[in-house]
Chain A
Amino acid sequence: DAKTTQPPSMDCAEGRAANLPCNHSTISGNEYVYWYRQIHSQGPQYIIHGLKNNETNEMASLIITEDRKSSTLILPHATLRDTAVYYCIVRSVNNDMRFGAGTRLTVKP
């Protein structure tokens, strides 16, 4: 599976959009981009995934560049409860999930 690179930490003001970047320059054609988050002392929670088209759900939007070498997770209106570690993962459907260290997002009032 392709490796990902994420900044170790980011801050965001409450109510503003949080834009979390992820680089995955070695992604293969059959690999999806997944985002999970882990709030302190809880198990990871699925957010969104995509292959090459941008995706949106009730939690977030996922923007994937045309060359698929990077993506951005957007939380449109961050709240204090969005403070968590966000993991960007690339994998093909039948391969295991390989988590990196993720980005620690702190939403500040």
Chain B
Amino acid sequence: EAEVAQSPRYKITEKSQAVAFWCDPISGHATLYWYRQILGQGPELLVQFQDESVVDDSQLPKDRFSAERLKGVDSTLKIQPAELGDSAMYLCASSPVGGRARNEQFFGPGTRLTVL
């Protein structure tokens, strides 16, 4: 069964450093999402792509966070500089545009970031 791939699974960094997370969605899925999940809370949407275009980045802290999906396939989320409060799980999800499955988002395993 196809899955959303994310790497790395774990990342430890010091504050002020730059970090990057990678996501490879399920093949053929045009919509890609990045979420942040703080411990004990539900996931919070950061950015949504439709192919290579950003559909919604209203919750993305643009002073330090950036996301791209240049060829409309895989995606990178970057934080520069990282702050202590950025420690969280970063989840990527994808969904197809049409068909019944468009109602379902398929999540990857996430990247757990710890900022020291």
Which A residue sits closest to B4, measured CB to CB? A43
Cβ contact within 8 Å between A101 and B41: yes
Pick the residue among A32, A44, A49, A93 that contacts B107 (CB under 8 A).
A44
25 A–B contacts from the bound complex (CB under 8 Å): A32-B103, A41-B109, A42-B109, A42-B110, A43-B107, A43-B108, A43-B110, A44-B91, A44-B105, A44-B107, A46-B105, A85-B42, A87-B42, A93-B103, A96-B33, A96-B56, A97-B33, A97-B43, A97-B45, A98-B45, A99-B42, A99-B43, A101-B41, A101-B42, A102-B42
Which residues of chain A are near B110, meaning CB under 8 Å? 42-43
- Chain A interface residues toward B at CB < 8 A: 32, 34, 41-46, 49, 85, 87, 93, 96-102
Which A residue sits closest to B106, measured CB to CB? A46
Interchain CA distance A32-B108 in the complex, whole Å: 23
Cβ contact within 8 Å between B105 and A97: yes
Interface residues on B, range: 20 to 34
Interchain CA distance A93-B115 in the complex, whole Å: 36
B79 CB-CB contact with A under 8 Å: no
B1 CB-CB contact with A under 8 Å: no
Cβ contact within 8 Å between A100 and B42: yes
